[in-house]
Amino acid sequence: MLNPNISYDNAYAHTNVYGHALELLKRHVSGVRRDGKAVIHIDIGCGYGRIAEALSEALDSAYVGVDLEGAGLASLAGRGYETHKLDLSKPNLLESFRALVGERIVGSISMLDTLEHLQEGQQVLEALSDLAAEHSAFTVISVPNVAHRDIGFKLAFGLWDYTEDGLLDHTHVRLFNGSYLERALRHAGLHSIDSYDVRAALSDQHFPKTHPALSQATVLHRLLSSLRSGVDAHDDVQQFVRICVAGPKIAKQPFAHERAEKRPFLSIVTRTQGKRIQSLVEVFTCLAGQSSRDFEVLIMGHKLTLERQIAVERAIEDTPAWLRAKIRLILVNAGSRTRPLNEGFSAAQGEYISTLDDDDIPMAHWVETFQKLAASNPGRLLRSVVVRQNVINVEVQKRTGIRAVGPLEKLYPSEFKFLDNLLGNFTPNLGVAFPRGVFHDLHVKFDEDITTAEDWDYIMRVATIAGVACSPAITAVYQWWGSEHSSRTDHPDHEWRDNYHRILQKMDRNMVLFPPGTAREIRLILEERDELARQTAAQIQPQPDGLQPELDQLRHELQKTVKRSQVSELLRSTSWRLTGPLRLLGRLKGGKPVSFANCQRMDVAELDEAIEKIYASRSWRITAALRAMNFSREREQ
């Protein structure tokens, strides 16, 4: 069905769907004649066929236009092209295609911005797939993207504006986003091998321009955009343009069958390097004693040697049969300590996902507490209380074990205070369970560029989206290894400090949603600050009018001297000097360098900014390994 008031006569351009479709065909279609027979290109739903001239020249194929509307076919025929009038809703469509092809060879097929108008679109795709399979032909399909951010942002506030043409042409009978298009193609036996989508930052649905969700400078638009852009790469796609080859038809229908899939409540992701098998055995023992068995376990073996892999497999094999059936061992042979978390969360099937390191101790009601909390707070980040205990490794009768050397200490608060957690992490990772949707639907993942404190970074990013529900119950023991081998000893102090600054920079750069009640907390903090300032001012003896400006100037100069000294130390460091060539390239491109000479003219705020710039620079990040080696040598000495 087409809009009778619109001609759909769009000119060819390299930047529109015609140009993108032809580019895909040029990448993959040779255009060579086979067996002495003529090679044709069939354009289904061709309209006025404005791609015909460019395509015939580029592919050296004879263009054949197929449509039901007479005006477009007449235009093509008048320009010397073969045309066929065909109703795509009729049965036996494949036979009709075969009849118009005759003895010729089909080199390629296109159906551009047509599928969305067809009531029987799936049967048309299947006929095209069969024809493409018979001729080993490539097929280009394009459809508008109903999930463009302009449509989605408007729909979130109740707006759905059909128009004469465009993304929401009122004659469209089938709507596509990226995943539904892929499923529909595969169901018909068409498998996408390349794409060249048409993108538009502002689509034809970008109205009313004054709507806060669409106005690009508003806080609301920035928040929605930051979330939408992480979901997939299609937020600004106006038309999907895909080139396909024919293959097996996927039996499963492209539409959703199950609206509520059966899942375990909790997926438990446990990282291990196989170095503490006895600790891993204790984790399994604790899981075997859980009051709720509605969970699965994913053991993420990170860079395991064969010997350690066998040891982990034996530990799994020794678990009770019911628990063993819930355990999966997944090997991760690359990446930092954060990579196994992303791999584990990706493989997780649970409604919630929690991390449990191979030396953590969950109590018997650990899973059950999360389950009860989720029942009354669906979709929120779940948090329970964790206590800490100092432990050491001991060897008894040539077997390694763990011994507690201190009491259980309640060092972490019972409530999650968002403002407090802006300064640091007060929640061990085994004390939280993350809602599945944040990772799997919004694609909020662990930052693999952060090598320490990745749990704090992720907790804060999830908390600002999902909120936090807390239980006062103590559910787990966080074992503290002191000076023995742990993540704290694997990473030197400067690496922890660098990561801390990076996380703070991410918080400052991104949109943050505060939970209800935060405004009151901020007011109280400001009131305390103002009261402290008043008390301090009252206690300070007034200085003679002539001396006060001099004292203020001296304080300011002292601050600048301290900051300049800090900058000087960083600029003289081996890390900074070794990466000088990298910064030279940046200066050639117009970048402004940080230099000691420049710092002499800076005030305190500018010096602070320069220090942050050095810590955040590529030069400082890529020399982290060098500083780590120097740190290790100093510690050994």
Q: With residue 285 as reference, give the H or E element that holds it.
A: helix 277-288
Mean per-residue pLDDT for 151-178?
A: 96
**pLDDT given for residue 166 in this prediction:** 95
The answer, yes or no, to whether residue 176 has pLDDT greater than 70, is yes
Tens-digit pLDDT profile for residues 219-230 = 999 999 999 999
Query: Does residue 612 carry a pLDDT above 90?
Result: no
* Mean of pLDDT values over 407-434: 94
What pLDDT sits at residue 633? 46
Identify the domain boundary among 446, 481, 516. Answer: 481
Q: What is the DSSP string of 519-545?
A: HHHHHHHHHHHHHHHHHHHHHSPPPPT
Q: Are 254 and 180 in contact (CB under 8 A)?
A: yes
Cα angle value 397/400/403 (rounded, 5°):
105
Domain match, 185 and 328 both: no
On whether both 296 and 242 belong to a single domain, the answer is no
Q: Does one domain contain both 238 and 292?
A: no
pLDDT value of position 590 = 56
Is 179 part of a structural domain of the chain? yes
- Cα within 13 Å of Cα(166), Cβ side: 15
**Count of domains forming the chain:** 3
Nearest alpha-carbon partner for 16 in 205, 137, 142: 142
Taking the C-alpha atoms of residue 288 and residue 295, their distance in angstroms, rounded to an integer, is 11
CA 278-282-285 angle, 5° bins: 135
User: For residue 545, what pLDDT is reported?
Assistant: 62
Q: Tens digit of pLDDT for each residue in 126-154?
A: 999 999 999 999 999 999 999 999 999 99
Percent pLDDT > 70 in the chain is 91
Pick from 361, 380, 376: which is nearest to 513 by CA? 380
Same domain for 315 and 239, yes or no, is: no
Asked whether 331 and 304 are in contact (CB, 8 A), the reply is: yes
User: Which residues form the domain of 589?
Assistant: 548-636
Determine the pLDDT at residue 403: 87
Looking at 237-251, 462-476, 532-546, which range is the least confident one?
Answer: 532-546
Residue 171: name the closest of 69, 50, 51, 91 by CA.
69
Which range is most confident: 50-64, 390-404, 483-497? 50-64
Residue 488 domain flag: no
Q: Please tell me the number of Cα atoms within 13 Å of 448 on its side-chain side.
A: 9
**Rounded-to-integer distance, Cα 95 and Cα 187, Å:** 20
Does 436 score more than 50 pLDDT?
A: yes
Q: Does position 631 have pLDDT exceeding 50, yes or no?
A: no
pLDDT at 262 over 50: yes
Structural domain includes residue 398: no
Domain boundary among 424, 455, 481: 481
Residue 497 lies in a domain: no
More confident residue, 102 or 561: 102
**138 C-beta neighbours (distance < 10 Å), count:** 24
Residue 241: its H or E element? strand 237-246
Q: Which long-range CB contacts under 8 A does 36-40 form with residues at least 24 apart? A: 37/103, 37/104, 37/105, 38/62, 38/104, 38/105, 39/104, 39/105, 39/106, 39/107, 40/64, 40/82, 40/101, 40/104, 40/105, 40/106, 40/107
Residue written as token pair 């200066």: 587
Average pLDDT over residues 28-43: 81
Same domain, 574 and 431: no
Closest C-alpha to 380, from 370, 393, 365, 392: 370
Report the b/e string of 360-379 with b at 16+ CB within 10 A: bbbbebbbbbbbebbeebeb
Residue 534 lies in a domain: no
> Would you state the pLDDT for residue 632?
46
Q: Is the pLDDT of residue 634 over 50?
A: no
Count Cβ atoms below 10 Å from residue 147 Cβ, excluding itself: 21
> Residue 258 falls within a domain, yes or no?
no
- Write the CATH number for 427: 3.90.550.10
554 and 620, same domain (yes or no): yes
Residue where one domain finishes, among candidates 212, 246, 280: 246
**How many C-beta atoms lie closer than 10 Å to residue 545's C-beta?**
7
Same-domain status, 433 and 558: no
Is 37 among the domain residues? yes
Cis peptide before 208 (omega within 30 of 0): yes
How many percent of the chain have pLDDT more than 90? 70
Local confidence band at 592 (pLDDT 50, 70, 90 cut-offs): low
Q: Is 90 exceeded by the pLDDT of residue 1?
A: no
191 with 289, same domain? no
- Please give the average per-residue pLDDT across 102-115, as a whole number: 96
pLDDT in tens, 312-334: 999 999 999 999 999 999 999 99
Q: Are residues 288 and 368 in the same domain?
A: yes
> Do 438 and 299 belong together in one domain?
yes
Whichever domain contains 169, its CATH number is: 3.40.50.150
339 & 444 share domain? yes
Residue 22 placed within a domain = yes
Give 534-556 pLDDT, tens digit per residue.
988 887 766 566 666 777 777 77
Residues 168 and 291 in one domain: no
